Amino acid sequence: MLSLLLAAYVTVFAAEIVGDKLLYTTGVLAAQYPRAPLLFGMALAFMVKMGVAVAVGDAIANLPPLLVASITSVSFVSVAFAVWRKDERRSRSSGGTRRSTAALISCGAILFSEWGDVGQITAATMAARFGSPLTIWLGAVGAMATKGTLAASFGGVVRAWILERVRPRAVRYGSVAFLLVLGVLSALEALMSIHRDAP
């Protein structure tokens, strides 16, 4: 069991660490929100995402690319909207509300932008092949949490450096612009998948 747990951890981590949307999404969120609620929201998203992966096995790998790209695009645009609407004065004065908002936004952003990605498909395939969903789930969630923590830590360092040199409004505008670019790229991916599937 331990060897399967480690195999799931290493395989999902290796599949994910190559570089994908999580690194960018987490970096942007870490520049806007405190680390603890960000990590909490990410952990919830990883648990749900990998729970679905091991429950449905290979079916997750067969999701239509158009659906995956569309959900990802909507997720990025939604997070951009949430960051845009963030009231700087209120966020400075109400720490509890800001923490819960950060957890909810990070959970939603990670859950939907990461749907059907290589880590989820890897976990689904391993669960279908080895028939030990709980062990695969634990290893996959551990791998995703490790990657998310590394990305959030790097984003936190960047956040501290940026906030010393750049006005909060400029950081917010930059974050919104970057999220919108990711949303547009995901929409283009959806359009390309339609073109590929056309007879």
Number of other residues whose CB lies within 10 A of the CB of residue 161: 11
Cα torsion for 121, 33, 75, 21, to the nearest 10°? Answer: -40
Tell me the C-alpha distance between 72 and 74, whole Å: 6
- Please report which confidence band the pLDDT of residue 44 belongs to, taking 50, 70 and 90 as the band edges: very high
Domain boundaries along the sequence of the chain: 2-197
Closest C-alpha to 85, from 173, 189, 153, 181: 173
pLDDT at 40: 92
Tell me the C-alpha distance between 168 and 162, whole Å: 9
Q: What is the pTM of this model?
A: 0.65
Tell me the C-alpha distance between 139 and 124, whole Å: 12
- Please report which confidence band the pLDDT of residue 90 belongs to, taking 50, 70 and 90 as the band edges: very low
- Please report which confidence band the pLDDT of residue 91 belongs to, taking 50, 70 and 90 as the band edges: very low
Per-residue pLDDT, averaged over 34-54, amounts to 89
